A and B are shown apart, each in its own frame.
Chain A
Amino acid sequence: MSVVSNILPYAVAVWLFGAGLYGIATSRNLIHLVGCLGVCQSATYVLLLGLGYRWGSIAPIFYDHPPGTPAVDPVMQALVLTDIVVGATLTALLLVLTIQVYKRSGSLDPEKLRPMRARQGSDRAEGSDRGHDGKRTVL
């Protein structure tokens, strides 16, 4: 029981990270991909809080406890707090980039994204494709 309890936070963190990576690798929708990245971030929350946790300790708030009572590590909690805020910012940034990709290419499928090309080169080389792109740019 004790060994399982010591290993379990790390095992759950590894499992969440692996599941998020599997989702990112097999995703066919960019919004779904950002959600899978959020699962990878929750793996870091579980890892950090599992590192700082001690059995039978109180929360690091000493308002109604005498000083010296065993408490969990407050440094890890500060790191997780920073991680949550950074994660929310990263999600917002990636969603904005996803909307921009949809406006430019008309698709949310990462498989249908083409490599970026120089604007002048595609103007002369691929006239028919260029007309299609121009129509989309007007919209």
Chain B
Amino acid sequence: MSAILPLLFLLTALSGTAVVLVRDPTRQVFVIAVNGLVLTILFDALQAPDVALSELAVGSAAVPLLYLVALMAVRNQLPGKES
């Protein structure tokens, strides 16, 4: 138990850095969802199950769907711009 918590902290730092370093927004959506999952596991290990449940719903489901909607709206604008 005392060894898994530092590992989860380091994993959180790693996945947050991955979100920044993936420059393509279409690929970044998946990394954001994985980051939400890692944060969920970290919060559960930090004895905060309600926060973990909220982060699971918001961080790894709702926010990536918002990004997908935004990407879809931007992509649908593309043919209109050229014609």
Interface residues of A (CB under 8 A from B): 4-5, 8-9, 12, 15-16, 19-20, 22-23, 28-29, 31-32, 34-36, 38-39, 42-43, 45-46, 49-50, 53, 55, 57-61, 71-72, 77, 80-81, 84-85, 87-88, 91-92, 95-96, 98-99, 102-103, 106, 108, 136, 139
Contacts and interface: CB of A to CB of B under 8 A. Distances in A.
Given A22-B20, A84-B59, A42 B35 contact: yes
A23 B5 CA distance: 26
B47 to A, nearest CB: 4
Most chain-A CB neighbours within 10 Å: which of B2, B19, B58, B67? B19
Given A15-B17, A23-B19, 6 more contacts: A12-B9, A19-B16, A20-B16, A45-B55, A84-B54, A99-B73
- The secondary-structure label for the interface of chain B is helix
Given A45-B39, A46-B12, A91-B66, A35 B74 contact: no
B47 A53 contact: yes
Considering the complex of A and B, which 4 residue pairs feature the smallest CB-CB distances, nearest first?
A23-B20, A31-B25, A95-B70, A59-B47
A106 B20 contact: no
A4 to B, nearest CB: 7
Interface string B17-48: 10111011100100010010001001100111
B76 to A, nearest CB: 10
Contacts of B32: 35, 38
Contacts of B28: 31-32, 35
A4 B23 CA distance: 32
Contact of B5 (A5, A43, A85, A95): A5
Given A19-B17, A46-B12, A35 B48 contact: no
A136 B12 contact: no
